Structure 1
Amino acid sequence: MRVEVVAAVLLLAAVTNAEDSLVDIVIREVKGCMDSEHLGSIGGLRSTNDPNSAEQKCFLGCMLKKFKALDAGGHYDAEGLKTTIQHCPRMKAHPDIQKAAMQVADECNGKVTGCDDYCSCAPLASKCLHEGMKNKAFQTIFIALDEALDKMES
């Protein structure tokens, strides 16, 4: 995976409209977070694989909140993320990845600490999720997000 955003933000189990594809919904969410966090482009974030500006960190936090990996206060939420993982259509199609993602969500529970809000917690959560999946020989748990970002760049 090219980015912690992709690796950490995964799946979007948000409410979907029958006429909208999951990828289109994720694109809409990405654009919404880009707007709310004043991020002009995700290109730099995807290429560096590390959020290094306040806007990039807050964008990542916004996306992690959308996926329920961070709660309303911006802190890591393993149960919220596991709910997203359980309901994501893309994850259901890949039970091996889904199982690993559930384990990684739990493993990161005590590791994302010492941060105060969604902007500061997002890079920690993203890194933990990314490394956890990599350690289980998977690149990402963010299947739908990766597809959406690829579509946005094409």
Structure 2
Amino acid sequence: MTLYALTGTPISTPSAYNLLTLAAVRTDRTSDLDFAFDIGPDSSFGVGTAGATVAVLLPRGAIGLGEDGGLQISSLPLDSIVLAPERGYEERVGVVIDSGAVIIAASRKQNCNFGFVRPRYAKLRVEALDLVQRSVTLRLVVDPNCGYRGLGPGVPQQ
């Protein structure tokens, strides 16, 4: 799945992802999204090194939407992540990405069966980052079951 930067790309290109509908979305058409992608200079996102150009995934709270859901960098290989953590998600500040980076995402909360209010979880890896085209290609694995944190193969148990 490919996203294009929020800035410096045509508005007709998708810059964000909705973990609930499993779709890349345009930010001019909807605020139903869980994270967005952008590239900026001089640590304009509050991360990185001054003077550097950084590519970031931005949780909802970092783009002026509700602080609901979030992102966290993982040091584990994508295939080793079988259970999403319950805590530790960045809700207000973007996470710096580069090719090969692995991120765990929690969607905005939703009403699940039996009155539970929980997010969906996903793991993703940056397959390609193109600073010239201002795009990122991600490999995503999303658990479509509300509140389940399982990200391994098979039916989730947790």
TM-score range, shorter chain: under 0.3
- Ranked by relative contact order (alpha carbons within 8 Å, sequence separation 6 or more), the top structure is 1
Higher strand share: 2
Judging by fraction of residues, say which structure has more helix: 1
Q: Rg: which structure is higher?
A: 2
TM-score w.r.t. length of structure 1: 0.27
With normalisation by structure 2, the TM-score equals: 0.27
